[in-house]
Each structure stands twice: as structure tokens, then as C-alpha cells.
Amino acid sequence: MGNKQPVSVLVLIYTLDGQVLLIERADKPGYWQSVTGSREENEILRDTARREVAEETGIIIAADSMALSDWQLCNRYEIYPHWRHRYPTGVTHNEEHVFGLQLSSPCPVTLAPDEHLAYRWLPWSQAAEQVFSPSNAAAIRLLPQRLPAVL
């Protein structure tokens, strides 16, 4: 069994006009998602979010950046059986903390080839339909509440 902590972040990367970045998992082709990853050691969750975004997309977020926000949302879900080997024996559930990273416009990303195969930017409503994770879809569906109002 593995040693991953059952505490993770989900980072929804989006633009002011409501486009969402999705990345395709290398270990499960066809599984699209936002940036995710487990906390390491005693890392604070904001630092976990910054590290995972950098590792998975190449986007570097300054420590004091206001573009990265903690949505104060935590999902507890059962870990898919095919990924449980990554966690200590007996661990079946994960706590996922949701963050958002607001960008002005879509940008190219540099994927970690051992983790992801492809990326795409989609309007939020289409992105919510593409992701495999129910908690990821729910977070994307919250996005309109966080976008600037159009006059």
C-alpha cells in the first residue's frame, strides 16, 4: 500500500469569461479533470494548490497572489477502488478542498507527461459535463457565482 494522505486539493483554473481548463489523466485516458493532488507532509493547503498547479500545468502562482482563492468548500468522498493502493491500508475516503485560480484569458500549459496526456479550455457548462468526478463537476457548476457580473 501507498503513503498518500487522504487530504487533497481540487483547483479549478478558469478565465474571466467562464472558460475552464481540463486535463486528461495519463493513467485513465478519457478521464478529464481539473488540477488535483494530495497534501505532502504538513503542507498548508494553499501551498498544496500552488505546487499541484505548477507540477501539472507549469503555471507558477506567487505566494501572495489574489488570483488563487480558497473556496472554503470541502468534499468527502470514497476513493475509487483502482486508486486505493496509493493510500495506507484501510483508507477508503478522501477530503478534497476546493480552490479557484482566476486567469484573465486561456493560456498554453505544460503538462507533466507522466500524469496528463492533453488539455483543453471549455466553457464552464461543457467542462462540467466532461469531468469524471462528481465533486469536480459540482465545483465547476459553482463558477458562475464567482465570475464578474456582465453589465
52 within some domain: yes
1 within some domain: no
Compute the mean pLDDT over every residue in the chain, rounded to the nearest whole number.
94
Tell me the pLDDT tens digit for each residue of 19-55.
Answer: 999 999 999 999 999 999 999 999 999 999 999 999 9
50 within some domain: yes
119 within some domain: yes
Residue 63 is predicted with a pLDDT of 85
- How many distinct structural domains can be found in the chain? 1
Residue 150 scores a pLDDT above 70: no
Residue 151 is predicted with a pLDDT of 38
151 within some domain: no
- pLDDT (average), residues 119-142: 97
Q: Which of these, 114, 100, 131, 90, lies nearest to 6 by C-alpha position?
A: 90
CATH of the domain at 53: 3.90.79.10
- pLDDT (average), residues 108-115: 94
Query: At which residue does the C-alpha cell 457565482 appear?
Result: 145
Dihedral Cα 66, 35, 96, 52, nearest 10 deg: -70
2 within some domain: no
Task: Tell me which residue range forms the domain holding 35.
Answer: 7-146
72, 76, 84 from 19: Cα distances, Å: 21, 26, 32
Residue 148 is predicted with a pLDDT of 77
Residue 60 scores a pLDDT above 50: yes
Residue 147 is predicted with a pLDDT of 87
Tell me the pLDDT tens digit for each residue of 62-104.
Answer: 988 999 999 999 999 999 898 899 999 999 999 999 999 999 9
Q: Which of these, 48, 50, 23, 10, lies nearest to 112 by C-alpha position?
A: 23
Q: Which of these, 3, 28, 61, 32, lies nearest to 133 by C-alpha position?
A: 32
23 within some domain: yes
Which neighbouring-strand residues pair with 96? Answer: 8, 75
